[in-house]
Structure 1
Amino acid sequence: MDAKLLEILVCPVCKGLLHLDKARQELICRGDRLAFAIKDGIPVMLESEARELPADEEVGQ
Structure 2
Amino acid sequence: MKSRIRETAVEIILHRIISVVCISSLLAKMRRSAAAMMWQGVISRAGRSVSSSLLECGCRT
Same fold (TM over 0.5): no
TM-score by length of 1: 0.17
> Whose Rg is larger?
2
When you count strand as a share of all residues, which structure comes out higher?
1
When you count helix as a share of all residues, which structure comes out higher?
2
